[in-house]
Amino acid sequence: MIKKIKMRTLLIGGVITLFFALLIGRVFYLQVIDNEFWQERAMANWNRKETLIASRGTITDRDGDILAMDAPTYTVTLNPKVIHENDLVDDVVDGLKRALGKSDSEIRKLATAKADGEYRVYREIRNNDEEQKDQVLALKEKLEMQLKKAGKIADSGISVVTEKKRYYPRMTLAAHLLGFTDRQQGAAVAGFEKYFDDQLKGVNGFAKYQSDKKGVKVPSADEVYQPPKNGKNFKLTIDDTIQYYIEDAMREAYEQYNPVSMTVIAADPNTMEILGMANMPTFDPNTYWEYDVESYRNHAVSSTYEPGSTFKIVTLASAIQEKLFNPDATYKSGSIKAGGRTHRDIEAGGWGEITFLEGVKRSSNVAFVKLGYEMLGKERLKNYINAFGFSERTGIDLPGEGLGRMNMEKDIDISTVPYGYAVSVTPIQQLAAISAVANGGKLMKPQIVKEIEDPNTGEKTIIEPELIRQVISPETSRKTSEYLEQVVADQEKGTGHFAYIEGYRVAGKTGTAVKGDYSDNSKAVVSFIGYAPVDDPKIAVLVIIDEPNEKVGGGRAAAPVFQKIVSQTLKHWGVPKSQSQDKQDKQDNKKKTNASNLPKVADLADMKVSEVKAKLLAEGIAFETLGQGSTVKKQYPPPGASMTAGQKIYLLTEEGTAMKIPNLKGESLRDAMEVLTLMKVRVQVQGEGYVSEQKEITEKGQRVVYLTLQSAADTVKEAASAETGEETDGAGQDKTEAEHE
């Protein structure tokens, strides 16, 4: 018995000894032999590396108004599996549809989403603002309190994830120019964002440190910190106000003609700084995934088209430069045989024997065949086309720039090039070329960037205009502009008369190019290109409408878009009207009042309101005070302007935009626009003539005034019918005007 006990004791002791021997051996192996491996494992557990995300650069317009920026976004995520298990479907749907402004069906579809018959564990609802985030968090807390009281796990299946995403505060404004970044990875996909991605995205930083087992940072001499280098900020040449004018005018025409697409570019012809660029259909870069991929295409830069008669400007300027154009010389219009084919004017039979200047105004194809094919000839014409930049890309800082082509090998093609066929161009090429005609003959590189700022150093780089070459002489530029002005000013013969702007000298050219088989003119690209004022060009604009649903030319469809954009822009800039044009306008309108005999508006700025009131009352001038200030900040009409009989002076006494909108009924559109522009209020106009109704609403935090206009004749007729109790027929007769392109 004792022997057995001793054996057991020895056995147990041996096992214990062996265990300790193995343990010591293992410790020795880990700490001595395999030391480096486990040291690395330990360091990996202690060391942390955190990526510090760089902010993407901000993009602004020329005045610093933000067009693209990094901003926090709050994404609501749902766990349909948890929501179902806790029987919260109805509660979640009801709460979120009120918090997020979404439909019942949309939320329910996400909250009950399945895959392979099983409830999903992750769905998301994007683009929520901070106020919505707070409401969602309140709903989450409420539901989880209910679950906790019921003895269940407090998980509502709702979460809010905070991220930094690219945000475009003006939504669709300048969408094609700006492009967008991918919502998942933040990678640049299109537009300016893509072209300058390397400079915009910056370089991420990092922080290396040691932590305890819970991940809490501990003091360490080995801590390494590399700050992020934020992306560069870009100030563009575009003006967001002009961009708005462009898109507003386009929208009206797009709804009327329902074309395949529309494109408009506006630039300063002296520098080729792009003031605005837009296409329709458009898209919102904040929700780009909701649109067709074709909607992202920037036709202004990437697409090519046959320009038609707008290309005649190049032929005209070239002929004038070579001293071949005599405006008073005559030719037989109608048709001409050249290059192995017959070229015809749009007017059947032509207009008889007419001068070349009349041919320019009527957009006679025959005139330009004679100028380009017969007088200039192939080589000189080709050289000028190349000089105007049509054989090379402009180099604009936007991706995907296209390149036009010229068919100038066969006579049959060469003979059609002078009036814009057998040649294709990009819109940006054409605007650069016509700007050279406007600015004294200088071909400028289109410029989209005005200034680049490095936020890490504060260093700023100013981008200067770039001259490519002198194409024609200043004298040729002046003469060409004068002839193109008559295309617009001649209300009887000029194809561009719909681009006429009262008080301003406008030069331009219409265009209509048949697509595909020239014998079938059911599909066409119609356009208008021009600039103003002629004597001191401030803005050049190209309008292109691809396949309007009506058989209309560029004069009827595109010129009014140009007219609206340019007239609003010149007023926005405060460009004074031409005195000679004012005189012509008054003669055309048969006004009997001589402006020079009308009283001039005094400069009332900085005067006390009480003093101004007393002065105007004494002079018998009607006025209206806007705002609660004690001194006059701004006024309309401006100092030095001529006062017409019964005209009212508006006195603005505050700088802010909170002033009450005055009663503008009876005012002309011009006066109403001037007052509202001074008040920094957006305006939408319907009709023509004088303000008959006005309505103020708020859209996306901005005041908008809708003005309904009515002609003086209709106003009188309406008043008369009101007195007699009769109804008037508002439908007038449309006067059909022939247009020749």
- In contact, 696 and 712? CB cutoff 8 Å: no
Backbone angles phi, psi at 190, to 5 degrees: -150, 165
Q: For residue 75, list its beta bridge partners.
A: 161
H or E stretch covering 10: helix 2-28
Contact (Cβ atoms closer than 8 angstroms) between residue 139 and residue 76: no
Q: Are 208 and 223 in contact (CB under 8 A)?
A: yes
Q: Catalytic pick from 309, 363, 435, 481?
A: 309
Ranges of H-type helices in 291-334: 299-302, 312-321
Number of alpha carbons in the 13 Å side-chain half-sphere of residue 273: 20
Closest CA to 274 of 438, 443, 431, 460: 431
| CA dist 554 → 59, 350, 366, 523 (Å) | 34, 19, 19, 13
User: How far apart (Å, rounded) are the C-alpha atoms in residues 626 and 656?
Assistant: 11
Contacts of 617 (CB under 8 A, 6+ apart): none
Integer angstrom CA distances of residue 353 from 128, 332, 343, 366, 425: 69, 5, 16, 12, 33
Query: What is the number of other CB atoms lying within 10 angstroms of the CB of residue 644?
Result: 14
d(CA 259, CA 553): 13
Type of residue at 552: V
Sign of the torsion formed by the C-alpha atoms of 84, 86, 90 and 95: negative
Identify the DSSP state of 54. Answer: P
User: Within 10 Å of residue 246's Cβ, how many Cβ atoms?
Assistant: 28
- CB-based contact 159:172 (threshold 8 Å): no
- The 10 Å CB-count burial string (b at 16+, else e) for 258-290 is ebebbbbbbbbbbbbbbbbbbbbebbbbbebee
Return d(Cα 682, Cα 676) in angstroms, integer.
Answer: 7
Cα–Cα distance measured from residue 342 to residue 349, given in angstroms and rounded to the nearest whole number: 13
Catalytic-residue membership of 309: yes
Whole-angstrom Cα distance, residue 371 to residue 326? 10
Element (H, E) at 344: strand 341-344
- The secondary structure element, H or E, covering residue 40 is helix 35-46
Please report, to the nearest 10 degrees, the dihedral formed by the alpha carbons of residues 115, 118, 119, 124 taken in order.
-20
CA proximity to 201, closest of 57, 334, 394: 57
181: β partners: 188
Catalytic residues: 309
